[in-house]
Amino acid sequence: MTAISVQNMNVWFGTGALRADAVLDVSFDVNEGEIFGLVGESGSGKSTILRAMVGLVPTWSGTMQIAGETLGKKRSQAFFGNVQMVFQDPYASLHPRHTVDRVLSEVMRLHGIADVDERIVQLLDDVGLGAGFRFRYPHQLSGGQRQRVAIARALAPKPTILLLDEPTSALDVSVQAEILNLLADLQQSQGLTYIMVSHDLGVVGHLCKRIAVMKDGEFVEVLSVEAMRRLEASHAYTKHLLASSIQSVS
């Protein structure tokens, strides 16, 4: 079943002469339980797509259907209970004055979830932190631990869709591996649908089955990870991207 359907999406910033188009006529479908990847360089518009989907960027046109709901300008509370996002920089995505406990309990209260105490312990367990981290402040956590808290926050309202905006690019490779494993496990155990944005083909190729390559706001190509591994790219830009990625890991 289709979880996400985006048709002819355009996103822009500014108006009049200052208008800059960030995303141009992008269409894609993501099935339930699928992991879809968006790859491109900085400024290619890949994060903007996610931000328009959750309503952080209001200036978009086209049609978006997420979890059966056709999206307008406003997002309902039910939408936020169903679709959540994990941000790139774990150092910037947690409120510096709130403990882990406060972050998670506030989210649950917003979604009207009962038995907060039990759920928090459960969530911290799910993301591999354990209850000992419950009353810590962000500055008492490492980058990887912060990202786990951010993932726990996203999972708190029991969503079915997670949008991952470069979730590991600010982390060390060894920590990145832990987070990628965690994301894979969560996807398996909870049957989540992911859209994952990254500039790193290795990371996207590890998790995603289908990958869209973006350049200057447009999809240049959508291909399966197997095709990518066989280097069966048809577009010149994808070839270039593949060449530089393969070169850097050889």
Partner 1 sequence: MSSEFGLRDWLLSEEPSSRRQAALSSWYNGWLRFRSNTLAMVGLCVLILIIFAAIFAPVLATHDQFAQDLGQRLLRPGVDGHLFGTDGLGRDIYSRVLYGARISLYIVLLVAMVAPLLGLIVGTVAGYAGGWVDIILMRITDIFLAFPRLILALAFVAALGAGIENAVLAISLTAWPPYARIARAETLTIRNSDYIHAIRLQGAGPMRIVTRHIWPLCISSLVVRVTLDMAGIILTAAGLGFLGLGAQPPSPEWGAMISDGRAYILDSWWVATIPGLAIFSISLAFNLLGDGLRDVLDPKDNGS
Partner 2 sequence: MIEPLLNVENLWVRFPSRNADFDAVRGVSFTLGQERLGIVGESGSGKSLTGRALLRLIQSPGIVEADRMTLHGENILHASEARMRQLRGGQISMIMQDPKFSLNPVMSVGQQMSEALRAHKKVSKSQARIQTIKMLDEVAIRDPERVFDLFPHEVSGGMGQRIMIAMMLLPNPKILIADEPTSALDVSVQIQVLDIMDKLVRDRGMGLIFISHDLNLVAKFCDRIIIMYAGRIVETCKASELRQAKHPYTLGLLNSVPNLEHPRDRLDVLKRDPAWRDAPSVSACQ
User: Which residues neighbour 173 within 8 Å (Cβ) at sequence distance 6 or greater?
Assistant: none
Number of residues that bind partner 1 (CB under 8 A): 37
Long-range Cβ contact pairs of 108-117 (< 8 A, separation 24 or more): 108/156, 108/157, 110/77, 110/157, 111/77, 111/80, 111/81, 111/156, 111/157, 113/156, 113/157, 113/158
How are beta strands 161-165 and 193-198 bridged, if at all? parallel
Name which of 114 and 249 has its Cβ closer to partner 2: 249
CB atoms within 10 A of CB 239: 14
Out of 176, 192, 210, 238, the only residue in the binding site for partner 2 (CB under 8 A) is 176
Alpha-carbon span 129 to 81, nearest angstrom: 23
Amino acid at 133: F
Q: Which residues pair with 23 in a beta bridge?
A: 11
Of these, 119, 148, 153, 210, which contacts partner 1 (CB under 8 A)?
153
Q: Which of residues 50-109 bind partner 1 (CB under 8 A)?
A: 54, 56, 75, 77, 80-81, 84-85, 87-89, 92-97, 99, 101-102, 106-107
Examine residue 189 and tell whether it contacts partner 2 (CB under 8 A): no
Q: Which does residue 200 bind out of partner 2, partner 1, none, counting CB within 5 to 8 angstroms by kind?
A: partner 2
Which residues sit at the interface with partner 1, rule CB under 8 A? 54, 56, 75, 77, 80-81, 84-85, 87-89, 92-97, 99, 101-102, 106-107, 110-111, 132-140, 150, 153, 156-157
Which residues sit at the interface with partner 2, rule CB under 8 A? 41-42, 143, 172-178, 180-181, 184, 199-203, 205-206, 225, 228-229, 240-242, 244-250
